[in-house]
């Protein structure tokens, strides 16, 4: 167990140093959001392994499924971003076509549902592969992990900037 904690700590240090370098090592270029998201996903899996006390067999089952679902979610996010840009362009027009607006809104809503379905798919998979205690720990772990990520993002944003740029 001590070895596992050392590995988790080392992975955490690598993650945070990689995140720091990706944000501050690029000068004025914006950070690579996809790489940051992938690093957060890896950190989440590593911390989840420790918090839930996953066995090697459970880890071997869960990691590939989690990674595949994360890739699928990334693709959906890319589609949502593309469609949001299209919707912004439509709204910016002097006389936007209502049918095109409705189609774009419906597509975004469907993509969001697809994203949520991927989350449910992963949670269902976990439910099949965790015991009752691990399921309870997962609920607590998820809430705390995402709270920590949100807090970290809040601290990194410049003061006085509450919203993302549009």
The CATH classification number of 33-156 equals 1.20.120
Tokens encoding 138 = 């997962």
Q: Are 23 and 54 in contact (CB under 8 A)?
A: no
Q: Are 63 and 45 in contact (CB under 8 A)?
A: yes
Q: Where are the domains of the chain?
A: 33-156
Q: What is the pTM of this model?
A: 0.69
Q: Is the dihedral of CA 30, 31, 35, 38 positive or negative?
A: negative
Q: Which of 114, 44, 33, 43 shows the shortest CA–CA distance to 73?
A: 114
Confidence of residue 159 (pLDDT cuts 50, 70, 90): low
pLDDT on residue 64: 95
What residues contact residue 7 under an 8 Å CB cut-off, 6+ apart? none
Instruction: State pLDDT tens for residues 58-88.
Output: 999 999 999 999 999 999 999 999 999 999 9
Q: Which of 9, 17, 63 shows the shortest CA–CA distance to 41?
A: 63
Round to whole Å and give the CA distance between 33 and 15. Answer: 14
Instruction: State pLDDT tens for residues 86-95.
Output: 999 999 999 9
């Amino acid at each position: 167990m001590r070895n596992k904690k050392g590995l988790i700590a080392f992975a955490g240090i690598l993650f945070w140093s990689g995140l720091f370098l990706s944000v501050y090592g690029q000068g004025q270029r914006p950070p690579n959001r996809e790489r940051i998201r992938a690093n957060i996903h890896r950190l989440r899996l590593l911390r989840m392994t420790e918090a839930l006390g996953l066995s090697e067999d459970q880890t071997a089952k869960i990691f590939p499924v989690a990674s595949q679902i994360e890739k699928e979610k990334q693709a959906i996010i890319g589609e949502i971003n593309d469609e949001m840009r299209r919707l912004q362009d439509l709204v910016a027009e002097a006389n936007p076509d209502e049918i095109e607006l409705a189609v774009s809104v419906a597509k975004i809503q469907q993509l969001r549902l697809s994203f949520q379905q991927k989350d449910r798919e992963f949670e269902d998979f976990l439910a099949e592969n965790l015991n009752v205690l691990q399921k309870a720990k997962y609920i607590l772990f998820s809430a705390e992990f995402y709270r920590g990520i949100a807090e970290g993002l809040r601290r990194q944003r410049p003061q006085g900037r509450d919203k993302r740029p549009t």
